[in-house]
């Protein structure tokens, strides 16, 4: 069993910052990729950022330059630093881990950007 626990969501004003964390526990041997997805009301879940075991990272265009994904391999934890937040970033954010070709998901954390 693999469990992912997220933290760090909340309400922030436009232009503000938040940092999300995701901690993995359980039968973890080799996490190939760690990622963050988000889902806004009425929309499909979309990839926000992903970082692979080798350290390479990719971002969706709309967050490039504002969000940074990082990982701590020793603690099996990864982070999403979100700066210059915009109202359109409002969504439930889910962390994701791909282990042995299986995707695992966190429970989701709400991020609301509003004045």
The arithmetic mean of pLDDT across residues 82-103, rounded, is: 95
pLDDT at residue 36, rounded to an integer: 98
Cα maximum dimension of the chain: 43
Query: Residue 83: what pLDDT?
Result: 98
Please, are residues 38 and 20 in contact by the beta-carbon 8 Å criterion?
no
The distance in angstroms from the start CA to the end CA of the chain is 40
State the pLDDT at residue 77.
92
Q: Is 62 helix (H, G, I), strand (E, B) or coil?
A: helix
Q: What are 22-74's pLDDT values in tens digits? A: 999 887 777 789 999 999 999 999 999 999 988 899 999 999 999 999 998 88
């Amino acid at each position: 069993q693999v469990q992912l626990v997220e933290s760090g969501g909340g309400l922030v004003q436009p232009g503000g910052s938040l940092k999300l964390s995701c901690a993995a526990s359980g039968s973890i041997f080799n996490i190939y990729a760690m990622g963050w997805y988000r889902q806004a009301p009425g929309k499909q879940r979309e990839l926000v950022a992903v970082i692979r075991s080798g350290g390479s990272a990719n971002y969706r265009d709309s967050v490039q330059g504002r969000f940074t994904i990082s990982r701590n391999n020793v603690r099996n934890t990864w982070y999403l630093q979100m700066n210059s937040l915009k109202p359109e970033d409002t969504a439930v954010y889910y962390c994701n881990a791909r282990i042995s070709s299986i995707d695992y998901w966190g429970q989701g954390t709400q991020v609301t950007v509003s004045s």
